[in-house]
Structure 1
């Protein structure tokens, strides 16, 4: 059997995982790469970790005040550009859905082009445009070939979309109708109902508390002039982080950043975001006809950049964030068969983001499952992780870390986050160093500083039925809940 094609595909896959451009079959034949020549199967890799890309990040500010982060990457003849603004739903200013609707409307029209012409313009240039709005941020992205013949018209169109949206009334009416239809669909989604109620209870009057997409009461009243005003303020150059990576030198990157920055509005950016108040524990149940119950538990965690985050991250990987092998998965799924999956996680944001646990289980065992989860958290807070759990979590984190910089798209996202949250340029390396230095006691102390087993905000969505006792734990395989998970 000729193994050369298989070896080439293996080498290409490995190089792609490492974030490198895979070689051309023509260029490498008859001599395959040294890596492929040494390997007959993936077993040959052993325990060695993936190669990690070293990032030389250049940073400066444009004349208009936009922060720029740039990494030169010559492997592919293309570049990725990402604009990040403090233009998420936390900036809605009492009009839920304003930020999301503004972002959705950006590519619906510019002077001389409608939405169809904009989409065709990017497609004809082989460029890709993206956008999104979240609680903290609004994002615009462009991927294009670096050849000036393609790059320059793609940047011109992108700059127009970012800086001169026309907000056509017919498009606004259409997107509003889509949102209203989505609100109706949410009523049939128990997981979504649980999430909405959880954020409202956890954050109360804080801007994180209302839905990013708005509400059935707020969206219909949003007018074009409100979108224009939000765009002028939140999508201004002084509120922008410009992340850029690709087949460009520093001079070309500076020219691109200057062009985009100059195209943006020049109004004053929004002010800082207040920190939420820590709520007392609470319990809310939403009646829903189903065989299963969605349980969500949350407390306030930490803002991005908090010094405790490396210890909290590693602790959560052991408790419930690392998939199979975590404490929650072992006790709730493997030993008792109560769920297909249970997960936990910290989500650090500009203000204190949530720590959340989510599980879907049989309706007649929901109360017992909730008590079990809280007992497992209580035990973890009291005892902390074992040394074996700690070492495994560190090893898994080190093994997955290269994937955070495996592609240009990954890197431009990381650059955008570093700039947006005001993190050091060496944050990724610093974070991994700090994670590897964390002790079991560091984790126990950090988790206790920020979490309490008694203060969870709990939301359940499902039917009110007679509750049954939980099965005892067993090391034998358990039958999982009947039916498929409801989403």
Structure 2
């Protein structure tokens, strides 16, 4: 079922969705109810009765940063949850879920693992769907046959990813910038780690990392507060209790560097990354979000203008922020012909450096605010995406009014504030630069065509 706002729902979430004036601050009305349940799980809930649907998202601090003894343990634990639970086989679980019309998804990241359930809100569907979801998350059987199957799948996935120049470039950035830190193993697994892991290891990791007080729960949909409390209690009380993930250590002192990885092909994938000491919940993240939009998002970004529009060096170039709990990074990535690796890198360095020194113009900030407004309004208008936003807010420890004040706070930022945030948090001299592709004799930049 498509999850879109019906005409008579507009006012429940947005003050103005039609006839929106993007030059004026837009308010998002999201009444977030939050609490910590008896088991220590932290809950955020938005009541929305426009569609007979419920979206549940569980975010456990159970990512790859927690499995340093056996790289791959976090991923294998997550992906084995639906291989058999509470005596039901993987096929029985899947068939039962399908019969209810419910959808289940899971994903693993550096810092957390996520499980989501989407189901109809009718009690005769919701209750058995939540019961199945609870069994899967809290009572996995971890059968040996399932572990061997998932091991083979994970090894195959690793082999496929290692052939991707873009994945290799990104992984090398993380390894270099975060050497010696849990962030420094971006693949989340190793062949040796996968081979060594047993079902006992899965059970031990699950018994800790999937504890209730290591959990953020998000619910959005056709529920009352009483219903939401009942569901969260059912989930959290079934989970292991009393373990919380250790806080991550500070980031290592960064060191600049240049790395080339030889790989056959017609072009090189390039990455230029800068470390950020500012954590995900820092107020200045909003300044950096706007700055990133100006520098490397869309056809009119500064990087796109410099490399594609003016010189035709690449089809696409973009920048991205990756804020993490104890820092993060800013990265530019593009693809270029092998003979322009050095020249394009110097052009990107200069464009980024100029932007850090000068900051954006007022016109660029207005355009960036417009670009960010549309996606945010679409996200809060779709329950599944809204549940994901709540989960992200919880994990990053953002306040309950984060969504409702997001767009006005963006609109209030000045070019000077954004420039100051750039200068305080990014240093081009600390960049790590990676190229993946064939080596070639280098050529200077092609001239800018005359207008």
Please state which band the TM-score falls in when normalised by the shorter chain. over 0.9
CA distance in 2 between counterparts of 1:400 and 1:268 reads: 37
Match of 1:303 among 268, 279, 283: 279
Within a 5 Å distance, the mapping from 1:52-71 to structure 2 comes to 54-71=29-46
- The structure 1 segments of at least 4 consecutive aligned residues displaced by more than 3 Å after TM superposition are 44-53
Unaligned runs of 5+ in 2: 11-17
1:294 aligns with 2:269: yes
1:28-49 deviation digits (Å, cap 9, x = unpaired):
xxxxx9xxxxxxxxxx968669
Higher Rg: 1
Q: TM-score normalised to the size of structure 1?
A: 0.87
Alignment correspondent of 1:21: 6
SS of equivalent residue, structure 1 residue 392:
helix
SS of equivalent residue, structure 2 residue 191:
coil
Match of 1:215 among 173, 178, 190: 190
1:262-321 deviation digits (Å, cap 9, x = unpaired):
11111312111122123121111101111100111112223211121111111111111x
1:368-405 deviation digits (Å, cap 9, x = unpaired):
00000001111111211122212222233234431220
Aligned residues: 440
SS of equivalent residue, structure 1 residue 305:
coil
1:316 aligns with 2:292: yes
1:155 aligns with 2:130: yes
Q: Does the 8 Å CA contact 1:134/1:212 hold for their aligned counterparts?
A: no
Alignment correspondent of 1:328: 303
1:224 aligns with 2:199: yes
Q: Aligned Cα RMSD in Å?
A: 2.0
CA distance in 2 between counterparts of 1:72 and 1:63 reads: 21
Match of 2:246 among 261, 264, 271: 271
SS of equivalent residue, structure 2 residue 324:
coil
1:157-212 deviation digits (Å, cap 9, x = unpaired):
11000101011111111111122222332342211211221110111011111034
SS of equivalent residue, structure 2 residue 394:
helix
1:252 aligns with 2:227: yes
Distance change >3 Å, CA 190–CA 398, structure 1 → 2: closer
Alignment correspondent of 2:448: 473
SS of equivalent residue, structure 2 residue 258:
strand
SS of equivalent residue, structure 1 residue 217:
helix
Alignment correspondent of 2:364: 389
Q: Does the 8 Å CA contact 2:308/2:316 hold for their aligned counterparts?
A: yes
CA distance in 2 between counterparts of 1:398 and 1:148 reads: 36
Alignment correspondent of 2:415: 440
1:203-242 deviation digits (Å, cap 9, x = unpaired):
1011111034301222111111111111111110011111
CA distance in 1 between counterparts of 2:161 and 2:113 reads: 23
Moved more, 109-118 or 176-185: 176-185
CA distance in 1 between counterparts of 2:430 and 2:22 reads: 42
Alignment correspondent of 1:139: 114
Within a 5 Å distance, the mapping from 1:365-384 to structure 2 comes to 365-384=340-359
CA distance in 2 between counterparts of 1:276 and 1:235 reads: 25
CA distance in 2 between counterparts of 1:182 and 1:399 reads: 34
Distance change >3 Å, CA 376–CA 51, structure 1 → 2: closer
How much does 1:22 deviate? 5.9
Alignment correspondent of 2:15: none
CA distance in 2 between counterparts of 1:451 and 1:272 reads: 24
Match of 2:143 among 155, 160, 168: 168
Moved more, 149-158 or 90-99: 90-99
SS of equivalent residue, structure 1 residue 338:
coil
SS of equivalent residue, structure 1 residue 348:
strand
CA distance in 2 between counterparts of 1:90 and 1:351 reads: 12
Distance change >3 Å, CA 133–CA 187, structure 1 → 2: closer
Moved more, 99-108 or 50-59: 50-59
